[in-house]
Amino acid sequence: MKTIDKVSADRLREVALYHPDTGIFYATPARPTSVRPGSILGYLRKDGYWYIRVDGHQYLAHRLAWLYVYGEWPKHLIDHIDGNKSNNRIKNLRDVPKHINQQNIRAPYKSSSTNTLGVIWNKRDKQWYAVITTNKKKRHLGMFKNKEDAVMAYLEAKRESHDGCTI
């Protein structure tokens, strides 16, 4: 991965204005591009994140928000507390290690056959199976006749054992 010179907080504040209550960046008159002052900066990509170009480099808007408010780059990953990747309000962002960020997953992976976090259909037993992973260890939560009970068991275990969970 190519390393780039990171923009400083001072330079960011010179070319952009960030509103912490909305999470939106606006162009300032000092911005050296054809973007009109006051225009919303950045664009929303298919992955759900806002991206902003500053001095020829592209940045994730949530990382720029952290830099803008706190004056330094985040030490870890920036987690969107509410799970909404485009909500860059500062109160929705937290600087956390990767394992905490992963514990705040709210939606199942696209590859999920059940479209549910932590719940699997067991064909042989014709029951729903709930499982959770914590500290790289898989814990079986039980077999359930209906999917809703399995989901509830998973969510209860997630709230108990995942420090990063905000569900």
Selected residue with higher pLDDT from 5 and 51: 51
Alpha carbon distance 46, 24 (integer Å):
18
Tell me the mean pLDDT in the region 89-109: 84
Beta strands in the chain (DSSP E): 16-19, 24-27, 43-44, 50-54, 57-60, 77-80, 93-96, 119-122, 127-134, 137-144
Q: How confident is the model at residue 3 (pLDDT cuts 50, 70, 90)?
A: very low
pTM over 0.85: no
- What is the average pLDDT across 98-124? 81
The two three-digit tokens of residue 120, written as one number? 């699997």
Mean pLDDT computed over 71-94: 95
DSSP state of 40: B
